[in-house]
Amino acid sequence: MCRGIYLDHAATTPVRREVQEALDEVLSSTFGNASSIHTFGQDAKRVLEESRERVATCIGAEPEEIIFTSGGTESDNLAIRGTAYALKEKGNHIITTAVEHPAVLNCCEALEEEGFEVTYLPVDMECLVHPEWVMEAIRPETILITVMFANNETGSIQPIAEIGGIARRKGVVFHTDAVQAVGKVPVNVDELGVDLMSMSAHKIYGPKGIGGLYVRKGTMLHPLVYGGHHERNLRPGTENVPGDAAFARAIELATEELPSSRKHLELLKERLTGGIQERIEHVQRNGALDDCLPNILNMSFAGVDGEAMLLNLDLMGVAVSTGSACSSGATEPSHVLLAMGVEPLLAQASLRFSLGRDNTEEQVERVLEVLPEIVSRLRDLGDARAMR
């Protein structure tokens, strides 16, 4: 068991005990195929439908509006490609933003190759898209708007309810990737005015490989894989009943504990932010100050390579993430930070700290002890190199 300080909860979270218990219980006692007519099957079917109901309750949806999937990526694919194929007679234009998760961006790029047109809206310096920009981008042939709820690199929370209102008035289907938002801020599909919403269990202390897509009643969707009649014909394959039950337990706990966990995370984040700003010069905070998740902090440390900081922190037992994406061995500055107007060098010099429920004030203090030394050592090294 790794005993370091884990500050990378936006990448994934450990499975919490209560969720593991729910998973174990269904794994060991309810093995039936939920499509079977006998008692073994009906037991599994009951657990499956109860899980669906519990997930639905947490987001203000009806049980039949929840489709279980293999996670956030599949939910994004089903929402976006599923809508594009279902509505292709109606139009071929999709609106999204430049700061989406790769699961959304790469879906849109694939659709462009199939003849769809995609508008990638810009964001402001706080990583926020303005609702009027969405409004202006809508055309008669627009069939889908997909804007993420909270950004996974900066934590910035988009004005989803306003965009939802616009989408509804214009009669355009609206999808949001809420993978980072669920469990951190209140999520209600009617208040947000979304038609489709992606969720993932492993970002909220559930297992990997399980998640869900909210599909508002009456929303046309095309399946991406073909098979049996599972999940309203939208996602065939024998259901992962233990995973579904674990997801339900995870989202239930996250929703129940939201007010207290939010306070805890906000306190730690404030301490971390203040501590870094006090102890280290030439730092820049990336993301929205007010409309932001309580657990994500993105900072640039001028003159220091993000990956070098990450590796040095790892040696000290602290796990964080960089704002850069590794593509074919070379690190490139984050597309999110670049879209916000952050200079490429400063984007390469960024770290993402994402806090979680098990983090403590002592751990934050420990990070504040080791980080300034690492930054100043790497800065000295950079200066020495520059002088040679």
Provide the annotated active-site residues.
326
Nearer to ligand PLP, 181 or 378 (CB): 181
**Can you tell me the distance from the alpha carbon of 30 to that of 32, in angstroms, rounded to the nearest whole number?**
6
Pairing of strands 196-200, 5-6: unpaired
- In whole angstroms, the minimum distance from the beta carbon of 173 to ligand PLP comes to 19
Nearer to ligand PLP, 180 or 322 (CB): 180
Nearer to ligand PLP, 180 or 300 (CB): 180
Q: Which residues pair with 142 in a beta bridge?
A: 93
DSSP string covering 176-195: EE-TTTTTTS---HHHHT-S
Binding ligand PLP (rule: CB under 6 A), the pick from 30, 51, 73, 298 is: 73
Residues ≥6 apart with Cβ < 8 Å to 306: 322, 323, 324, 331, 348, 349, 350, 351
CA dihedral 381, 384, 385, 387 (to 10 degrees): 160
Q: Count CB atoms within 10 A of the CB of residue 129.
A: 24
CA dihedral 192, 196, 200, 205 (to 10 degrees): 30
Site string for ligand PLP, 146-165 (x = CB under 6 A): --x---x-------------
Binding ligand PLP (rule: CB under 6 A), the pick from 16, 203, 264, 352 is: 203
Nearer to ligand PLP, 44 or 340 (CB): 340
Binding ligand PLP (rule: CB under 6 A), the pick from 180, 219, 321, 334 is: 180
- In whole angstroms, the minimum distance from the beta carbon of 124 to ligand PLP comes to 19
- Find the part of the chain contacting ligand PLP (CB under 6 A) among 109-117, 136-144, 198-206, 292-300: 198-206
Let me know: does 220 contact 87? Beta carbons within 8 Å: yes
Binding ligand PLP (rule: CB under 6 A), the pick from 15, 44, 68, 71 is: 71
**Can you tell me the distance from the alpha carbon of 55 to that of 182, in angstroms, rounded to the nearest whole number?**
11
- In whole angstroms, the minimum distance from the beta carbon of 152 to ligand PLP comes to 4
- In whole angstroms, the minimum distance from the beta carbon of 274 to ligand PLP comes to 26
Binding ligand PLP (rule: CB under 6 A), the pick from 30, 154, 200, 363 is: 200
Pull the structure tokens for residue 167: 């989408």
Q: Which residues pair with 300 in a beta bridge?
A: 284, 350
Report residue 123: phi and psi, to 5°.
Answer: -125, 165
Q: Is 101 exposed, middle or buried (0-12, 13-18, 19+ CB in 10 A)?
A: buried
246: contact with ligand PLP by CB under 6 A: no
**Can you tell me the distance from the alpha carbon of 155 to that of 290, in angstroms, rounded to the nearest whole number?**
10
- In whole angstroms, the minimum distance from the beta carbon of 137 to ligand PLP comes to 21
- In whole angstroms, the minimum distance from the beta carbon of 103 to ligand PLP comes to 5
101: contact with ligand PLP by CB under 6 A: yes
- In whole angstroms, the minimum distance from the beta carbon of 42 to ligand PLP comes to 29
- Find the part of the chain contacting ligand PLP (CB under 6 A) among 36-44, 70-78, 228-236, 320-328: 70-78
Residue least distant from ligand PLP (Cβ):
72
103: contact with ligand PLP by CB under 6 A: yes
84: contact with ligand PLP by CB under 6 A: no
Q: Is 170 exposed, middle or buried (0-12, 13-18, 19+ CB in 10 A)?
A: middle
Q: Count CB atoms within 10 A of the CB of residue 273.
A: 17
Nearer to ligand PLP, 103 or 299 (CB): 103
72: contact with ligand PLP by CB under 6 A: yes
296: contact with ligand PLP by CB under 6 A: no
Nearer to ligand PLP, 93 or 203 (CB): 203
Report residue 62: phi and psi, to 5°.
Answer: -90, 150
Nearer to ligand PLP, 92 or 154 (CB): 154
- In whole angstroms, the minimum distance from the beta carbon of 354 to ligand PLP comes to 10
Q: Is 338 left (phi over 0), alpha (psi -120 to 50) or beta?
A: alpha
Q: Where does this chain bind ligand PLP (CB under 6 A)?
A: 71-73, 101, 103, 148, 152, 177, 179-180, 200, 202-203, 211
